[in-house]
Amino acid sequence: MNAGVAVSTPAWCTFRLGKSHYGVELARVQEVLRPLPVTRLPLSPPAIAGLINLRGRIVTVVDLRVVLGVEASPAAGLVVVRGSEGPVALLVDAIGDVRRAELDTPALAAETSGDERGPLIDRTLALPGELLTVLDLDRVLARAFASEEARS
């Protein structure tokens, strides 16, 4: 009898920022929500939109449009992800769906020269009908929480 080895198909929670599709690793996503009231934090880094109360737990909200340099627009959703210090909510323009890629899905190399977003991108996938930019969540969160002085 031959024991089969389960191969997990990579999956991403997708969302829209501006005109582009982005995704984060599905295993890091806790939940997706409609926008909640955000309490601003004085003297916080520009990418920190504020805090939300998520069922009694205070969660930091990161505005991905600031981190990625995308034109501002009204947020239509929150993607709550597991950060290294606990949950973090990501403001997004529109919530997508779960996208899975076959193992032979072509990945395009991320262009890093001359583009400060390069290190924030894990890979870009050519899915049927669209390109999906997969973010390196740890680097995105590190950039969001970095103060202006640390970036200069």
How many independent structural domains does the chain possess? Answer: 1
90: CATH: 2.40.50.180
Task: Please give the pLDDT value at position 3.
Answer: 53
Task: Please give the pLDDT value at position 126.
Answer: 86
Closest CA to 141 of 124, 115, 119: 119
Assign 66 to helix, strand or coil.
helix
**What average pLDDT values come out for the chain (152 residues) when binned by 10 residues?**
59 93 96 93 93 95 93 88 94 92 56 55 86 94 77 47
Is residue 142 included in any domain, yes or no?
yes
Closest CA to 26 of 15, 35, 36, 16: 15
Is residue 61 included in any domain, yes or no?
yes
pTM of the model: 0.82
Is residue 82 included in any domain, yes or no?
yes
Task: Please give the pLDDT value at position 44.
Answer: 92
Is residue 5 included in any domain, yes or no?
no
Is residue 35 included in any domain, yes or no?
yes
Q: Which domain holds residue 56?
A: 22-100+116-147
Is residue 105 included in any domain, yes or no?
no
